[in-house]
Amino acid sequence: MTTVVVHPHSGILSAYGMGLADIRANRTQSVVQPLSAENLPDVANSIEALRATTFKELRDQGVPAGEIQTHPRLHLRYEGTDSPIAVDFADVAAMLAAFEDAHRKQFGFVFEGKTVVIEAAEVESVGGGATIEEPASVVEKYEAGARETASFYADGAWHEAGIFRDRAAFSAGMTINGPALIIEPHQTIVVEPGWRAEVNEFNHIILRRVVALARNKALGTEADPVMLEVFNNLFMAIAEQMGVTLQNTAYSVNIKERVDFSCAVFAADSSLVANAPHMPVHLGSMDRSVEAIIAQNVGKMRPGDVFALNAPYNGGTHLPDITVVTPVFDDAGAEILFYVASRGHHADVGGSAPGSMTPLATNVNEEGVLFDNFLLVDRGEFREEALQVLLTDHAYPCRNPYQNTADLKAQIAANEKGIQELRKMVNQFGLDVVNAYMGHVQDNAEENVRRVIDVLKDSEWETRTDQGAVIKLKISVDKENREATVNFTGTSPQQDSNFNAPEPVARAAVLYAFRLMVEGNIPMNAGCLKPINIIIPEDCMLRPKYPAAVVAGNVETSQHVTNTLLAALGAMANSQGTMNNLTFGNDEYQYYETICSGSPAGPGFNGTDAVQVHMTNSRLTDPEILEFRYPVLLEDFHIRHGSGGKGKWHAGSGTRRTLRFLKRMDCAILSSHRTLPPKGLDGGEDGQLGLTQVRRVDGTVETLKGCDQTILEAGDAVIVQPPTAGGYGKA
């Protein structure tokens, strides 16, 4: 039975048994020592002192001693990690078991034989709460009749409802059977068919369902429009929860603060089902990583296994983006039902320059450490030693392996969250229904893209880059089959620079562009690409071969490809066409950021000032955190009003950012549109060129090339002025 209570003259819904807030006192004390029977007496003394303090705090507030409950806990973590977990204080064996159980639930693995450290002791004392009690008494019930009626719509039909206006005349025991409307000066209570309103002795109206809710049929595997929307949001919500877990447990500024990561859910065949609104360049390419992991581990995967990959020629994009893939097994551990994956941009994965984004690399080995189908967790056991060897046994090793390890653990935890939520979904709806709707949401996305194709026409465009390369595109539309062919034939061959973009990057740009054309709110998934044939010729900068350098392909060439696609489609003018990748660091610090500009204009809309666009969706680190974690000072960051391309619709305004260094650092800029401006469309003006300068401590100013690297001494500053987007239409 369903019961709802409506208090008179309040309009507030509540439930019986709701308590008033307890009075709580909480105290924590740092206790950094190994968890052992020998150390437990000292810890117990600390807990007793904390208990006495919190107990006194409640007593001083008038809480009787007999009503105070005390909850002692220890915050435990593995030695060498920084993610403590609170467990109830007990004997060592019980606490260790509770800690391992909680760690396994959060991260999906435990360390065998690793020292567990007590981070802190905590005591919480609780007392003084009260409850709202409304003792029930027997009242004689009678049914009230209505003096007037009106019609209202409910459950798909119109109903003749009794109208009750004189709320002051209601008395205990009065009942009103639905359909009915109880109209008061400040609210109207709708009593739907199958419900009854009862007035109790406190003059509260209690709504009770008296007729069981009819269900025409159980949820099946056939597509239902309402349930399709429900599952669209359920799948996206799982990916969003994965992202929240990743952000909360990550160590690096780049992932925790700049949110440079992506999470997604995949079907058993590796097709993308849904993603959170994270980084488009990640989301359209992650399925290639999942495909590569599946292909290399046929018959080898076991429950508790987790894999890592960043290989640009085998499903990856560029080396800083490490993808962590976890298979989701059935309860028996025999069949893989789904996959979950998270991709994080690591602040440093080695390479010839801090931040792993050097503009000077001509070989992928100069860009950092390669993960190619690396088994990160083996049946629930984290392979820490093997990971450390991989991160450090390299010509250009990782500069901060601890940070890489911590972020990889956060990605594992994010995947574990996805697994837990998928299991809940299966338990609620059944595996056959979940699998069916994984297909339905992709089919729905496919149909939405086909509707876009219905109104497209053949088009072409080419984009020239500062480096002299050309990205050439031709879109051919097959109206009869409702398909489109996206052909990159004529694009420049593989480059000697690192502007080569692996095939998954170009594919991600195509997926993003066509999803952008869909007006409906659907998740970006594999269905969007089913009606699209992509042609990328061999020996092309969009299909490089080992050992070509690729770090700029993911961040710069991806933006060029997106601009080319959207210009060909007539959707909008060119964006700034770069992420303005600024990296700096030394052996102690490594930092990476991308810098926003204004968004481009399009048919019927102006651009927006100072936002990230297209293939990046990251934030800038808050100044307080940036200056706290790194020896730099943010001198200036402002909007350059009116700097966007002009036209009938104008682009958004760009920005200017100045960072002064307090220590000697390597600094690199990887950017575009320093010599060729972003193009306007349909008569709109081009945007402005970008500019990167270094202001030396003696006051001299040097202009850097679009892709350049230099040393900054203490007191020197780097000034980045991103290019601005193009306008649309003649002014």
Summarize pLDDT for 335-347 with one digit per residue, the tens: 999 999 999 999 9
Rounded Cα distance, 691 and 506, in Å:
27
Helix pair angle (384-392, 401-429), 10° resolution: 130
Higher pLDDT, 302 or 168: 302
Contact 726, 573 (CB under 8 A): yes
Answer yes or no: is pLDDT of 710 > 50.
yes
Band (pLDDT 50/70/90 cuts) for residue 11 is very low
Measured from the Cβ of residue 102, the count of other Cβ atoms closer than 10 Å reads 15
Answer yes or no: is pLDDT of 333 > 90.
yes
Contact 641, 621 (CB under 8 A): no
Kindly give, in sequence order, each residue whose CB lies less than 8 Å from that of residue 325, ignoring residues fewer than 6 positions away. 289, 290, 293, 306, 307, 308, 309, 339, 340, 341, 415
pLDDT score for 139: 82
Band (pLDDT 50/70/90 cuts) for residue 268 is very high
Rounded Cα distance, 407 and 322, in Å:
10
Where residue 173 falls (left for φ over 0; alpha for ψ -120 to 50; beta otherwise) is: left
- What's the mean pLDDT in 259-274? 93
Query: Mean of the per-residue pLDDT values for the chain?
Result: 91
Answer yes or no: is pLDDT of 592 > 90.
yes
Rounded Cα distance, 50 and 25, in Å:
10
pLDDT score for 277: 75
Q: How far apart are the first and last CA of the chain?
A: 65
Band (pLDDT 50/70/90 cuts) for residue 492 is very high
- What's the mean pLDDT in 61-68? 88
pLDDT score for 213: 73
- What's the mean pLDDT in 173-201? 92
Main-chain phi, psi angles of 6, to 5 degrees = -115, 115
Q: What is the pTM of this model?
A: 0.80
Rounded Cα distance, 415 and 245, in Å:
9
Kindly give, in sequence order, each residue whose CB lies less than 8 Å from that of residue 81, ignoring residues fewer than 6 positions away. 406, 409
| Residue among 654, 565, 655, 648 at smallest CA distance from 602 | 648
pLDDT score for 708: 96
Answer yes or no: is pLDDT of 13 > 50.
no
CATH number of 23-127: 3.30.1490
Summarize pLDDT for 132-154 with one digit per residue, the tens: 666 667 788 899 988 899 998 88
Band (pLDDT 50/70/90 cuts) for residue 315 is confident
pLDDT score for 1: 40
What count of residues does the chain have?
731
Measured from the Cβ of residue 329, the count of other Cβ atoms closer than 10 Å reads 18
Summarize pLDDT for 24-34 with one digit per residue, the tens: 888 999 888 99
DSSP string, 143-212: E---SEEEEEEETTEEEEEEEE--GGG--TTEEEESSEEEE-SS-EEEE-TTEEEEE-TTS-EEEEE-SP
DSSP state at residue 520:
S
Strand 205-209 versus strand 3-6 pairing type:
antiparallel
Per the structure block, which two tokens stand in for 709?
Answer: 């690297």
Helix residue ranges, H only, 200-307: 225-249, 253-256, 280-283, 286-296
Answer yes or no: is pLDDT of 266 > 50.
yes
Answer yes or no: is pLDDT of 251 > 60.
yes
Rounded Cα distance, 503 and 315, in Å:
9
Answer yes or no: is pLDDT of 215 > 60.
no
Rounded Cα distance, 254 and 261, in Å:
9
Summarize pLDDT for 410-466 with one digit per residue, the tens: 999 999 999 999 999 999 999 999 999 999 999 999 999 999 999 999 999 999 999
Per the structure block, which two tokens stand in for 626?
Answer: 């940036």
- What's the mean pLDDT in 590-602? 96
pLDDT cut 90: percent of the chain above it: 74
Kindly give, in sequence order, each residue whose CB lies less than 8 Å from that of residue 16, ignoring residues fewer than 6 positions away. 5, 132, 134
Band (pLDDT 50/70/90 cuts) for residue 67 is confident
Rounded Cα distance, 341 and 286, in Å:
8
Band (pLDDT 50/70/90 cuts) for residue 81 is confident
pLDDT score for 303: 96
pLDDT score for 157: 86
Summarize pLDDT for 639-685 with one digit per residue, the tens: 999 999 999 999 999 999 999 999 999 999 999 999 999 999 999 99
pLDDT score for 487: 98
Answer yes or no: is pLDDT of 221 > 90.
no
Answer yes or no: is pLDDT of 104 > 90.
no
Contact 622, 667 (CB under 8 A): no
| Residue among 378, 728, 712, 317 at smallest CA distance from 549 | 317
pLDDT score for 19: 41
Contact 562, 575 (CB under 8 A): yes
Rounded Cα distance, 503 and 541, in Å:
9
Domain ranges of the chain: 3-16+134-209, 23-127, 225-431, 572-731
- What's the mean pLDDT in 227-244? 93
Band (pLDDT 50/70/90 cuts) for residue 222 is confident
